[in-house]
Amino acid sequence: MKKLSFACAATLFLVAVVVSGADRPTTIHEFYDAEARTRVIAHRGFSGAAPENTLASVRAAIEVKADMVEIDVTLTTDGHIVVIHDETLDRTTDGSGDVFRATLAELQELDAGSWFDPSFAGEHIPTLDDVLAEVEGRILVNVEIKSEAVARGVVTKVASAIREHGMVDQVVVSSFSPMALQEMHSVAPEIRTAVLYNTTYHRGQDAVEIVTDLGASVFNIKRQRLTRRMLRRCRENGIPVGIYTVNKTRRMRRLVKKGINAIFTDHPNLLLEVLNPTSTGTPAPIPAEAIP
């Protein structure tokens, strides 16, 4: 996805709709309440307004009052959990090469903000501890475990971090890796997990069986891959469904009308406006070329 200009992102941020604090869930149980409105998940933070997976994007998601922030985690070569989506450093930092070959100290010397806009120069790749400390009591978190780190012990480290911060009831862990979800269910059954539908492993399988077989309780899937049968089966069995990554308001409206439990978006302010239309104005339009 192309990034927005800083001016456009700032405008979007300033006009974002604010929902009342009483409407926002404070626990994972409340978040996935079947009777609740569609929940807003800020994908990699408010990544339409700030560089993804940085503390700046996390803070922006909190400020705009999204219900949850989603981040991606993997491991450094010296075993630290860091927040970054790609396996390599090239796209979102001024560094290059594989993330897993770098130490934490080496990663923290990199600039993870200038690629998005010069005003974010100096943003660093945060650790999972950094993010959990930042969000505790302020917003719920979806921690996506990257598949490439599972064999290197990331799952137990993530579980330990969540427990140490006392945030078991504020975090859901997701992954495309069935092994990651099975391991999390085994080592920390009290931490709620979400399946990320993986065409390599899950194609042709029943959605309910996928979730239950992995000890999970939530089904997350790309918008284009969701079928009516999947949605019906999940509803019949009380399994919440999350859809990613939706950035156009017309698609948001359709999913809200379908009663989708949660939507991942780079622009949580737009989804909040869909859910809570205001009479005082609407967010500035996003240039068509900036949205996939």
For residue 247, give its domain range.
6-290
Annotation marks residue 43 as catalytic: yes
- Report the pLDDT value the prediction gives residue 277, as an integer from 0 to 100: 87
CA 256 to CA 261: how far, in whole Å?
8
Q: What CATH number is associated with residue 258?
A: 3.20.20.190
> Locate tokens 């796209």: which residue?
91
194 within some domain: yes
For residues 191 and 161, is the Cβ–Cβ distance under 8 A?
no
For residues 262 and 41, is the Cβ–Cβ distance under 8 A?
yes
Amino acid letter, 289 = E
- Helix residue ranges, H only, 203-267: 207-213, 228-236, 249-257
- Report the pLDDT value the prediction gives residue 23, as an integer from 0 to 100: 77
- pTM to 2 decimals? 0.89
Average pLDDT on 9-28 reads 60
Rg (CA), the chain: 18
Q: What is the pLDDT of residues 121-146, one digit of tens each?
A: 999 999 999 999 999 999 999 999 99
Q: Write the CB contacts of 143 (distance below 8 Å, at least 6 apart in sequence).
A: 71, 73, 128, 158, 162, 171, 172, 173, 174
pLDDT at residue 21 tops 70: no
DSSP state of 149: G
Average pLDDT on 234-248 reads 98
173 within some domain: yes
Amino acid letter, 158 = V
pLDDT at residue 163 tops 60: yes
- Top pLDDT among 290 and 40 is at 40
C-alpha closest to that of 47 among 38, 39, 36, 56: 56
Average pLDDT on 50-60 reads 98
92 within some domain: yes
**Minimum mean pLDDT among 5-9, 16-20, 31-35, 239-243: which range?**
16-20
30 within some domain: yes
pLDDT at residue 15 tops 60: no
- Report the pLDDT value the prediction gives residue 82, as an integer from 0 to 100: 99
CA 111 to CA 66: how far, in whole Å?
26
Average pLDDT on 55-59 reads 98
- Report the pLDDT value the prediction gives residue 3, as an integer from 0 to 100: 52
Annotation marks residue 80 as catalytic: no
1 within some domain: no
Average pLDDT on 169-182 reads 98
pLDDT at residue 193 tops 50: yes
Q: What is the pLDDT of residues 69-90, one digit of tens each?
A: 999 999 999 999 999 999 999 9
Choose, from 29, 43, 124, 165, the residue flagged as catalytic.
Answer: 43
- Report the pLDDT value the prediction gives residue 84, as an integer from 0 to 100: 98
Strand partners, 242: 220, 262
91 within some domain: yes
Confidence of residue 18 (pLDDT cuts 50, 70, 90): very low
pLDDT at residue 37 tops 50: yes
Choose, from 29, 80, 85, 202, the residue flagged as catalytic.
Answer: 85
238 within some domain: yes
- Report the pLDDT value the prediction gives residue 33, as an integer from 0 to 100: 95
DSSP line for 147-160: GGGGGGTHHHHHHH
Number of domains the chain is built from: 1
pLDDT at residue 9 tops 80: no
